[in-house]
Structure 1
Amino acid sequence: MTRSAMPPVSALTLARGRATHLRNLVIGLTRQTRPPSELVIGVMQEDLYDDLPATSFPVRQVRVRGRELPLARARNRVAEAAHGEVLAFLDVDCIPAPKLIADYARMVGPSQGLSMGEVLYLPAGAAAEGWTYDRFAELGVRHCDRQGPPEGDRRRCEDYRCFWSLNFALHRRDWDASGGFDTRFVGYGGEDTDFGRSLSERGIPIWWVRGARVYHQYHPHCMPPIHHIPSIIRNAELFAQKWGHRTMEHWLHAFRMMGLIEPTDAGLRILRAPDAEDFALCRQQEDMPYAASGRVMRLLQDRARAQAGLPPDDASPKVRQARLDRGQREMLTPAGRAPFAAE
């Protein structure tokens, strides 16, 4: 496909606060080898952003109201407002590499499915004023729990649960066929896995692609996200009502290991609010480009053995992970239903 024949690409993002992150995202879009046809921002707060960098392309802001994060509704809203043939969704804390728009314009076509680009995580301070892509390439690291780029241009993602809403694109025709995000999911967690499941059910393929890279800006975060337990539980139970089993089981198992929740015949129940010790365990530190639930769950395994008076676990990483996997599977199935068999 020649440059002139490439379809117009609408860049889409959602924002609440995060003004510095949003400015860096816009700066990244101004440095593209092929600019987007527009940027549409789903503003999940009362005030619009009034200090954005100058661009050669239109920037439009659309308000999406809701006290809890209306992520599903906001993604639908920016897609509806967009004019481009290709819809490129970027989280607000992502800075697009110079070829992201060109890569998606080249790789995404009608009825070809959804493409997920590369992500590298930056340490604290890397995206300070005056940042450069050379510095990002030097400092960026891949997430240990996430799939890396394929050896070729693309590889089919065979498990919808791996859909990653941080950086993805699809053609308008596939977006319309997907039905969009389910707006019953409100707050943090689950709406993206539900969207991936909907794609799978409708026969719309998901692809890992090489290129279309973003650099994730550092910000303090907890993983597992103990600051979002109520919405995660609510959305996990909604997912179960819809599909027959819960999702986000790794987070749910971590919450149970921490004594924060328990499964009951009536559903998941919150036992207590996270305390300072819980936040200290889960909070991302400045020397960590990203936070990972697996790290916390392995620490919890070690803590449980110590509290039981058992010696340190000398099992192989594979065996330890198998134990965690069993615990996670237990959180998938609500009471009274047959055990869920992973696809």
Structure 2
Amino acid sequence: MDLSIVIATRDRRALLDRTLTSIEAGRGAPECEVVVVDHGSRDGTAELLEEYAARLPLRVVSLEFRGESIAEPKNAGAEAARGDLVVFVDSGVLCSPGFAGAHLAAHRLAPASCVAGAVLGWDSEDETDPFWATVDAARMPERPAPEWPESLADPRAPRFDPDGGAPWLLMWGANLSVPRRDFLAAGGFDTGMSGWGWDDLELAFRLSRSGLRQVYAPDAWALHYPHPRASLASRMETSRRNWLRAYTRHGGAPELELWDRCDFWEYAECLSRVERTWREAARRLAAPPPRPGGAGRRVLFGFAPPDRPEPGDVFVLPPGVVRSPHPGVVTAYGLRTPLADRSADVAVVSPALLAFDWPPSPGWPPLVETMLREAVRVGGRIEVAGPGGGPRLDALVERAAA
């Protein structure tokens, strides 16, 4: 068996029916199995699966419902799968006729990869739109038709850059494939996450760190059928909670710390700009100010650490600024650090932070403001040291301390 399509579902019989119908209609070479994990459904899903078992190479995994985590049933499906490649799709995702073959082809071109298939209609929530009635009445064509609404386009297509700042941020679990061996070796989805958001992104981030390339495959396309969802506010709340878990799990990874500081679609470019700005600033970072006698613990933002830092001094610096391991350095961009609240008596900031006096997205505060608020959180109070600050930095410090 080359490929296993894994679907985790709970009380979504009608949506699951559409997904299985699309898979049945697109069967052919290559052959694949379908693994459905029923996460404690009570809406007749079991009876629906009995009907499809006579027509599809279908295996069902029944899992007791133990909480709103999509990770556990997805992991159970991957463990039960027999294919070398597992493709995760959601209930309500309508797979195109060449879906399985396109995923296999993408992995043949890039063997050690995590592949995101195109998701059309990802943000459509209006089931009464005439387009969906057309889809219900006819089989999908091999390619999206020219007359399909532009609103169905996958917004990732023009933005995806596998060598860009954060390709893992665009690897969405509604249509995602990965070699089963690599998935299991990585530990699967994080079962500590619940609700909407970040379970797929965290997995992709972890896989990218293990060496898997991130690939976007427009030919492996699927339609995302509209269905009721939690409110945007609720989704953002659980997404932020899951992001904080990911950030903490990965030791305060700098690649993750910017997420709630800019617009989602601006993230990759903003991260790249932060990295470029730090590389430029690092060429002229000043030495830290002399430590006053009897001074307590200090955390220093934007200074070059000496060869032998004073005990109690901690330097916040991004990746690459310090070439060798340094016991007094916390690796972070300074927007969010893994340091605890009030873990220092004072935060000393350098005027070098003014290089970040620009908004990450229109309408957002300049990043230097975020850095200074982080300095206040960690140090309680701020001292400015070094030339080049001026009234602008003084005003920003006063605002952060207010």
TM > 0.5 between the two? yes
What number of residue pairs does the alignment pair up? 261
CA distance in 2, matches of 1:93, 1:230: 24
Query: Given residue 323 of structure 1, which amino acid in structure 2 is its aligned partner?
Result: G
Hey, what does 1:239 align to over in structure 2? Answer: 246
CA distance in 1, matches of 2:102, 2:154: 24
Greater Cα offset, 186-195 or 98-107: 186-195
Task: Deviation per CA, 1:6-46: give whole Å up to 9, x if none.
Answer: x6211111111221111111011011143642111122224
Q: CA deviation at 1:180?
A: 1.3
Hey, what does 2:29 align to over in structure 1? Answer: 34
CA distance in 2, matches of 1:141, 1:325: 32
**Ranges in structure 1 where 5+ consecutive residues have no aligned partner:** 1-6, 254-318, 338-343
CA distance in 2, matches of 1:180, 1:210: 24
CA distance in 2, matches of 1:83, 1:149: 34
- Is 1:73 aligned to residue 81 of structure 2? no
- Is 1:200 aligned to residue 208 of structure 2? yes
**Pairing of 1:108-119 with structure 2 (within 5 A):** 108-109=107-108, 111-119=111-119
Q: CA deviation at 1:102?
A: 1.2
Q: Is the 8 A contact 2:79 2:184 kept in 1?
A: no
Hey, what does 1:25 align to over in structure 2? Answer: 19
Hey, what does 1:282 align to over in structure 2? Answer: none
- Is 1:212 aligned to residue 223 of structure 2? no
Of 7, 10, 14, 2:4 maps to 10
RMSD: 3.7
Q: What is the DSSP-based 3-state SS (H/G/I as helix, E as strand, rest coil) of the residue aligned with 1:211?
A: strand
Q: Is the 8 A contact 1:11 1:36 kept in 2?
A: no
Q: Is the 8 A contact 2:171 2:200 kept in 1?
A: yes
Name which one, 1 or 2, has greater alpha-carbon Rg: 2
- Is 1:249 aligned to residue 270 of structure 2? no
Q: CA deviation at 1:220?
A: 3.3
Of 162, 174, 179, 1:156 maps to 162
Seen in structure 2, the aligned counterparts of structure 1 residues 324 and 132 have a Cα distance that, compared at 3 Å, is: farther
Q: CA deviation at 1:190?
A: 2.0
Q: What is the DSSP-based 3-state SS (H/G/I as helix, E as strand, rest coil) of the residue aligned with 2:223?
A: strand
TM-score (norm 1): 0.64
**Pairing of 1:246-325 with structure 2 (within 5 A):** 249=260, 321-324=361-364
Q: What is the DSSP-based 3-state SS (H/G/I as helix, E as strand, rest coil) of the residue aligned with 2:47?
A: coil
Q: CA deviation at 1:212?
A: 0.6
**Whose RCO is larger (CA < 8 A, sep 6+)?**
1
CA distance in 1, matches of 2:14, 2:261: 31
Query: Given residue 25 of structure 1, which amino acid in structure 2 is its aligned partner?
Result: T
Query: Given residue 115 of structure 2, which amino acid in structure 1 is its aligned partner?
Result: S
**Ranges in structure 2 where 5+ consecutive residues have no aligned partner:** 265-358, 380-402
Greater Cα offset, 206-215 or 102-111: 102-111
Q: What is the DSSP-based 3-state SS (H/G/I as helix, E as strand, rest coil) of the residue aligned with 1:188?
A: coil
Seen in structure 2, the aligned counterparts of structure 1 residues 156 and 232 have a Cα distance that, compared at 3 Å, is: closer
Q: CA deviation at 1:171?
A: 1.9
Seen in structure 2, the aligned counterparts of structure 1 residues 209 and 252 have a Cα distance that, compared at 3 Å, is: closer
Query: Given residue 10 of structure 2, which amino acid in structure 1 is its aligned partner?
Result: R
CA distance in 1, matches of 2:233, 2:57: 38
Q: What is the DSSP-based 3-state SS (H/G/I as helix, E as strand, rest coil) of the residue aligned with 1:196?
A: helix
Hey, what does 2:269 align to over in structure 1? Answer: none
Q: CA deviation at 1:88?
A: 1.1
Q: CA deviation at 1:320?
A: 9.7
Hey, what does 1:59 align to over in structure 2? Answer: 58
**Pairing of 1:95-134 with structure 2 (within 5 A):** 95-109=94-108, 111-121=111-121, 124-125=127-128, 126-128=131-133, 129-134=136-141
Query: Given residue 79 of structure 1, which amino acid in structure 2 is its aligned partner?
Result: A
